[in-house]
């Protein structure tokens, strides 16, 4: 099994950390100091990624647990629940249609 602390960071993370460190570089700062700052930024990025992965795993666990509970409750309640869908139309379009026909009739027979 691979120990996660021994894994090297990805090249993208290293490049991104170096870019950020160079962007924040002070005029009298040496290359060694910039590299140290880049390493610190890189560790911060890695820590952030770990935290996001943990959150995603936790969320997936919760979603799976909720879906299992929902499936269990649906199996027992399917025979008892009956859905009735009632479509109702608004009265305004019908009133406008009748008024337009009345208006057309008055206009033509006048």
Q: Is the pLDDT of residue 9 over 90?
A: no
Count of Cβ atoms closer than 10 Å to residue 37 Cβ: 19
Residue whose entry in the numeric block shows the structure tokens 């290293």: 14
> Considering only CA atoms, which of 70, 65, 73, 16 is closest in space to residue 45?
16
| Positive/negative CA dihedral, 41, 47, 50, 56 | negative
Tell me the pLDDT tens digit for each residue of 19-55. 888 888 888 888 899 889 999 999 999 999 999 999 9
* 38's tokens: 């880049």
In the prediction, which pLDDT does 6 show? Answer: 63
Q: Is the pTM of this model over 0.75?
A: no
Q: Find out whether 24 and 41 touch, Cβ atoms under 8 Å.
A: no
């Amino acid at each position: 099994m691979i120990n996660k602390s021994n894994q090297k960071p990805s090249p993208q993370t290293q490049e991104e950390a170096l870019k950020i460190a160079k962007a924040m570089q002070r005029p009298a700062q040496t290359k060694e100091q910039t590299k140290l700052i880049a390493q610190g930024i890189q560790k911060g990025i890695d820590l952030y990624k770990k935290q996001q992965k943990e959150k995603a795993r936790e969320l997936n666990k919760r979603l799976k647990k909720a879906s299992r509970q929902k499936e269990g409750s649906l199996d027992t309640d399917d025979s008892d629940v009956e859905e009735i869908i009632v479509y109702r139309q608004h009265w305004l379009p019908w009133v406008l249609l009748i008024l337009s026909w009345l208006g057309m009739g008055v206009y033509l027979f006048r």
